[in-house]
Structure 1
Amino acid sequence: MYEQEIAQAAALIKNADALLITAGAGMGVDSGLPDFRGNEGFWKAYPALAASRVEFSSIANPHAFLADPKQAWGFYGHRLALYRKTVPHEGFQILRDIAARMRLGCFVITSNVDGQFQKAGFDASRILEIHGSIHHLQCMDPCRETVWPADYLTPKIDEEKCEWTGQLPTCLHCGCLARPNVLMFDDWHWQPLRHDLQRGNWRVWSDLPKKMVVIELGAGIDIPSIRRTSEAQRVPVIRINPRHPEVRSETGVSLPMGAKDALVAIWKLL
């Protein structure tokens, strides 16, 4: 199935000198991570929030930390613990192997906040996390632009209530409530310090390739930032998405498959 498209994708990769990997939430599904596709998918992963009809856009919102910080940190603390224990699927290693064959290697642009690319061994200086990272914190206030690692946090969550138990995380500088350094809905106080540094790295690297190819994985259409980023490069795009694989460019390839299965199939031809 899709033999022609897979062969076209492999041919584009063989002809490239650099790889841009763009990834949305669908990239983590094969690692066992939930895909918050609509409220039903979100509530399936968080039944405690389903019972109170709390929508994803309401809990993934800085206002939630003001209205009910235990619940907000219950949600984000659970996600932090989940991402820490998740093992990246074999597709991540295939992407590294593909990049290793190219003169300029690869760069990653992702809307995911899970840190899975770093965990899979990708060079942190070649990753742009456009929505920030759950593995870093900032002041809720914010008292300053500082961002710091969340490594010292040990989430303890009452999953039946989706609540953080014990002392809530606080700012290292002023002692006020801390929050994840994640760009949320209606978020005017997200601190983009890490993001700006990462974007600077991207600008430098993106001037180097002469024949770049994009492999886009699991990027949705509801928030199309990643899809637009892929298309903005004006190079061939291999779009891997089981639900919305359409590509606009005539030089692109549409693969209606899951991320891992598509990468395994492409790698067999390389």
Structure 2
Amino acid sequence: MSQQERTVDGPVPTGRTAPAHLDELAQALEQAEAVIVGAGAGLSAAAGLTYSGERFTRLFPDFIARYGLTDMYSAGFHPFPSPEVRWAYWSRHIWHNRYEPGPLPTYARLVRLLAGREHTVITTNVDHQFQLAGADRTRLFYTQGDYGLWQCSVPCHVATYDNEETVREMVLRQRDLQVPGELVPHCPVCGEPLAMNLRVDASFVQDEGWHEAAERHRAFLTAHQGERVLLLELGVGANTPAIIKYPFWAMTADNPHATYACLNLGQVGAPSAIADRSVLIDADIDAALSALEPMLATAGRP
């Protein structure tokens, strides 16, 4: 079984919140020859990109009133009455979560912390906030898709299409919760509707860019096997642990020089087999990254 599939058995202790753990994380960053970042939904939530509550009611009051929507996640599966209404919702969703930076500079803090360090990023997030914060896109692997891309809904071919220009038009021109019919996107090859390039089922298109990013990520892991590696997990919960969490545990177990760090607000832990090489911080991610910056600056880093 490969390191990307194997998990590490053992009880999962709870995380502790104490300033000493930030010191440990700062030290691990300073000593690491390479950093492997795994980012989950909790990182975007820490940046203020929440899908429910005040932000949802502020951005979608009209859709809430008419369709009884409760949050952005479930709204994505709502059976809207027409393509024009569906794309009125989705264009607004895409715009506020993909093309606008998060309310808090969480991603920018992380990008600054990684500057000058050999690193790669794997993320299940589809909002591409890393790129908006100035990250090097060649170091990013978005496994689950991109709000900024469309694909054929069939799909009849393996390609994706940038949607920024059309989404902007949809947001600007929608009236009465509908977009003009001529803006509803269709596949240029077969004429069927275009769909979001998101991994919701087996129709998800892994295009050339996806495979190139996957290969760069795999090559990075191979190149740094056995080195002093920091596996930095940020905001990863229990929904998709097989993509980031379990592989990070396994890679830490396989490499005696590796350190596993888990930073999240809740759901923080590590198997007993790697507990002595784990840094567990149960805290707000934005606040923790903010506190890390001056620590690393004091150590002479940018």
TM-score (norm: length of structure 2): 0.74
1:155-184 deviations in Å (ceiling 9; x for gaps): 328999865454312223333211121112
Report the residue type matching 1:95 in the other structure: L
Task: Give the match's secondary structure for 2:267.
Answer: coil
Q: 1:93-242 to 2 correspondence within 5 Å?
A: 93-102=108-117, 105-153=118-166, 154=168, 155-156=170-171, 164-166=179-181, 167-184=183-200, 187-193=201-207, 194-209=209-224, 210-224=227-241, 225-234=243-252, 235-242=258-265
CA distance in 2, matches of 1:218, 1:46: 25
Contact 2:111 2:130 in 1 (8 A): no
Task: Give the match's secondary structure for 1:134.
Answer: strand
Equivalenced residues, count: 261
Deviates more, 1:67-76 or 1:143-152: 67-76
Alignment partner of 1:246 is 2:269: yes
The share of aligned pairs that are identical, in percent, is 22
Aligned to 2:106: 91
CA distance in 1, matches of 2:236, 2:34: 20
Deviates more, 1:242-251 or 1:155-164: 155-164
For structure 1, the residue ranges without an aligned partner over 5 or more in a row are none
TM-score (norm: length of structure 1): 0.82
Contact 1:25 1:35 in 2 (8 A): no
**Residues 59 and 71 of structure 1: is their aligned pair in 2 closer, same or farther, counting only changes over 3 Å?**
farther
Higher relative contact order, structure no. (Cα contacts within 8 Å, ≥ 6 residues apart)? 2
Deviates more, 1:259-268 or 1:86-95: 86-95
**Residues 138 and 29 of structure 1: is their aligned pair in 2 closer, same or farther, counting only changes over 3 Å?**
same
1:179-229 deviations in Å (ceiling 9; x for gaps): 121112xx1211011322211111111112211102221112133233224
Larger radius of gyration, structure 1 or 2?
Answer: 2
Contact 2:38 2:231 in 1 (8 A): yes
Aligned to 2:13: none
Post-superposition offset of 1:106: 1.2
CA distance in 2, matches of 1:152, 1:160: 18
CA distance in 2, matches of 1:158, 1:34: 25
Report the residue type matching 1:191 in the other structure: V
**Residues 268 and 4 of structure 1: is their aligned pair in 2 closer, same or farther, counting only changes over 3 Å?**
same
Query: CA RMSD, aligned part only?
Result: 3.0
For structure 2, the residue ranges without an aligned partner over 5 or more in a row are 1-16, 253-257, 297-302
